[in-house]
């Protein structure tokens, strides 16, 4: 029986994987069939995975711990930011900087630098700076803001990570694994799910698919917030 959630998934294209020639054999058990050279994801497996992953995330949230949402590809940027802000968690949606977790001290120093630049007009040296210097500092501020805005208050490791496109965000996956941070991820047919603790089979290239899957993953958290 097809559920309402599965109908929404079909409408959002969650079931569309990559071309069959680009598949990762480790995703075999999550693939239902192929159509016109495109793998079709088994949405029963997707729903099952979401149920487990969302329960895990809800438990993390209920304990007052933090989740880091990661998705820097264009299709994921807006949804990653929206979902993280709605649930009160951290996010990275512009660029994953190597060492963002494993070298957290350096990241905190970068956040301090951003705060300095945001308040440059209040600094005693401001009046002595040329337009060229101020322009360069403004470019630096914009770059730092884009990279760090979602983790400005993250002073310690998150208790879990939610990742969109594990192939693209392989460095984030590797850092999480190195630090024993549990991961939840949308995993397309071209990716290896073995490095992920809670792999959710689904289309990670469609804006609608990504948004729907993220919403389903945090649905129990948002429901608790609305109680």
Coil, strand or helix at 163: strand
Which residue is it, tokens 């630096």?
A: 140
CATH class of 16-101+157-225: alpha beta
Contacts of 123 (CB under 8 A, 6+ apart): 116
Q: Quick one: pLDDT at residue 54?
A: 97
Closest by CA position to 195, among listed 206, 207, 184, 208: 184
Given a cut of 90, whether residue 93 has pLDDT beyond it is yes
Given a cut of 60, whether residue 1 has pLDDT beyond it is no
Given a cut of 90, whether residue 224 has pLDDT beyond it is no
Q: What is the pLDDT of residues 197-213, one digit of tens each?
A: 999 999 999 999 999 99
Please give the Cα distance from 138 to 25 (Å, whole number): 47
Judging by DSSP bridges, how do beta strands 90-92 and 67-70 pair with one another?
parallel
Closest by CA position to 163, among listed 204, 192, 194: 204
- The order of strands in the sheet holding 16-19 is 16-19, 38-41, 31-35
Prediction pTM value: 0.93
Q: Quick one: pLDDT at residue 2?
A: 65
20, 37 Cβ separation under 8 angstroms:
yes
Please give the Cα distance from 43 to 73 (Å, whole number): 23
Coil, strand or helix at 31: strand
């Amino acid at each position: 029986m097809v559920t309402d959630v599965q109908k929404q998934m079909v409408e959002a294209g969650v079931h569309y994987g990559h071309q069959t020639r680009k598949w990762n054999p480790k995703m075999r058990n999550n693939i239902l069939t192929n159509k016109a050279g495109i793998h079709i994801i088994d949405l029963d497996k997707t729903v099952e995975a979401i149920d487990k992953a969302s329960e895990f995330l809800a438990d993390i949230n209920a304990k007052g711990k933090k989740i880091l949402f990661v998705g820097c590809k264009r299709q994921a940027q807006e949804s990653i930011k929206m979902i993280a802000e709605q649930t009160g968690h951290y996010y990275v949606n512009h660029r994953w900087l190597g060492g963002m977790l494993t070298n957290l001290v350096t990241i905190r120093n970068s956040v301090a630098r951003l705060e300095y630049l945001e308040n440059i007009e209040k600094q005693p040296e401001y009046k002595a700076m040329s337009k060229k210097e101020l322009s360069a500092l403004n470019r630096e501020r914009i770059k730092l803001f884009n990279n760090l805005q979602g983790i400005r208050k993250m002073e310690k490791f998150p208790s879990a990570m939610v990742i969109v496109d594990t192939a693209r965000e392989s460095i984030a996956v590797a850092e999480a694994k190195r630090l024993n941070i549990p991961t939840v991820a949308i995993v397309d047919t071209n990716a290896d799910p073995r490095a992920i603790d809670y792999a959710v089979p689904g289309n990670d290239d469609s804006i609608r698919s990504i948004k729907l899957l993220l919403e389903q993953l945090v649905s129990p958290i948002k429901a608790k917030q609305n109680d």
